[in-house]
């Protein structure tokens, strides 16, 4: 059994795993099918935040149950996805049903070892069965898709609405696709204007225009909803410039600080929403509803066999794909 370990920034190694330990009663052992590389994994790979090395990434995981602890209700052979954020069930926010705000939250693949391994073990409460009709390549997107589903529930997205999405990484591309699916007129905005990126955005169905942040169209166009998914101060600052009076800015990118034009926000009654991960199980269920629906066309994903992990991370860093997936299936290698 192999696992992918980050030993130092930009130093990934495929290594033999320790022999499996017996399961705790509440745990399941999973054989990995696919794992999505997230923006967070890419920042970790580049050494952009503090990590204890060696670190095993991977929180967007699809796999098959191969062994269950004695208290677990799942059956071997079942396909599952991981919900990688832990919750304590005892804090004020967990008790109020807001597990996404749990004060004791940890993340598999972040503060806890992740799933980039041929097998991994996780408490059964953090896995979700996958509906049979959802193919592997779509099912593995449920976690990033749920982030977008949760964010878009904070605003009204419908035909006639103008929506701008700043930053077209995985979340931004999925947000553009979902807003367009709901009939909005979408401006997808990104500094990467490569042919491959243009090609990616063109795979989104619906009314979508693709702009550079400095495009002169954005000097005059104003939007009912602006979604910041780049996670950089300049993008958040642009969000307040291009939102209509009475409009909404939804922040899903994560960074420390930016300058807020308070007079402009107050005078124009602009509403700011922070949005973090998702409510469970509702947002996963809703995300699966879209992933089940073939009329919801996903932007391009790229599958890379596990052994070619270096190419996979390079493809992720290029920003040219909606999602790069590591393929752990033996037949894929
Ligand atoms: Zn992610
Ligand atoms: Zn809690």
Taking only the tens place, the pLDDT of each residue in 80-136 is: 999 999 999 999 999 999 999 999 999 999 999 999 999 999 999 999 999 999 999
DSSP structure class, residue 55: B
Q: Is the pLDDT of residue 208 over 60?
A: yes
Question: Which ligand places an atom closest to the C-alpha of 102?
Answer: 2
- Backbone torsions φ then ψ of 173, nearest 5 degrees: -70, -40
CA atoms within 13 Å, Cβ hemisphere of 323: 28
Q: Give CA–CA dist 221/243, Å, rounded.
A: 9
Mean pLDDT over 222-250 rounds to 98
Tokens of 170: 């995985």
Nearest Cα neighbor of 119 from 181, 188, 164, 56 is: 56
270-293 pLDDT per residue, tens:
999 999 999 999 999 999 999 999
Listing DSSP states for 318-330 in one string gives HT-SSEEEEE--G
Q: How far does the centroid of ligand 1 lie from the alpha carbon of residue 39, in Å?
A: 6
Confidence of residue 20 (pLDDT cuts 50, 70, 90): confident
**If DSSP codes are grouped into helix, strand and coil, which group holds residue 261?**
coil
119 strand-pairing partners: 31
Question: Which ligand places an atom closest to the C-alpha of 59?
Answer: 1
Q: Is the pLDDT of residue 224 over 90?
A: yes
Q: How far does the centroid of ligand 2 lie from the alpha carbon of residue 199, in Å?
A: 42
- The CA distances from residue 90 to 97, 276, 277, in Å, are 11, 20, 19
Q: How far does the centroid of ligand 2 lie from the alpha carbon of residue 99, in Å?
A: 6
Question: What is the value of pTM for the model shown?
Answer: 0.96
Question: Which ligand places an atom closest to the C-alpha of 143?
Answer: 1
Q: How far does the centroid of ligand 2 lie from the alpha carbon of residue 82, in Å?
A: 18
Q: How far does the centroid of ligand 2 lie from the alpha carbon of residue 101, in Å?
A: 7
258-273 pLDDT per residue, tens:
999 999 999 999 999 9
Q: Give CA–CA dist 139/133, Å, rounded.
A: 9
Confidence of residue 49 (pLDDT cuts 50, 70, 90): confident
């Amino acid at each position: 059994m192999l696992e992918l370990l980050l030993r130092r920034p930009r130093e990934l190694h495929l290594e033999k795993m320790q022999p499996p330990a017996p399961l705790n009663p509440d745990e399941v052992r999973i054989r990995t099918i696919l794992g999505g590389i997230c923006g967070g994994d890419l920042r970790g790979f580049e050494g952009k935040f503090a990590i204890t090395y060696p670190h095993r990434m991977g929180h967007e995981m699809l796999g098959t149950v191969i062994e269950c602890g004695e208290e677990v209700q799942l059956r071997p052979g079942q396909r599952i996805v991981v919900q990688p954020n832990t919750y304590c069930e005892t804090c004020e926010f967990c008790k109020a049903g807001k597990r996404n705000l749990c004060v004791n939250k940890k993340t598999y693949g972040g503060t806890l070892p992740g799933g980039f391994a041929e097998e991994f073990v996780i408490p059964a409460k953090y896995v979700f069965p996958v509906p049979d009709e959802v193919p592997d390549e779509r099912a593995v997107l449920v976690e990033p898709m749920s982030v977008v589903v949760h964010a878009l529930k904070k605003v009204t997205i419908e035909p006639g609405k103008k929506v701008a999405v700043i930053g077209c990484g995985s979340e931004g591309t999925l947000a553009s696709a979902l807003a367009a699916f709901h009939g909005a007129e979408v401006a997808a905005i990104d500094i990467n204007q490569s042919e491959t990126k243009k090609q990616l955005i063109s795979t989104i169905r619906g009314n979508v225009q693709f702009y550079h942040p400095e495009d002169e169209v954005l000097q005059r166009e104003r939007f009912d909803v602006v979604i910041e998914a780049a996670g950089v101060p300049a993008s958040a600052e642009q969000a307040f410039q291009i939102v209509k009076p009475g409009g909404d800015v939804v922040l899903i990118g994560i960074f420390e600080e930016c300058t807020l034009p308070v007079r402009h926000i107050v005078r124009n009654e602009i509403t700011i929403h922070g949005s973090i991960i998702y409510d469970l199980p509702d947002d996963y269920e809703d995300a699966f509803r879209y992933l089940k629906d073939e009329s919801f066309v996903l932007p391009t994903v790229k599958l890379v066999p596990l052994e070619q992990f270096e190419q996979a991370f390079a493809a992720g860093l290029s920003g040219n794909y909606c999602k790069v997936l590591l393929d752990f299936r033996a037949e894929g290698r």
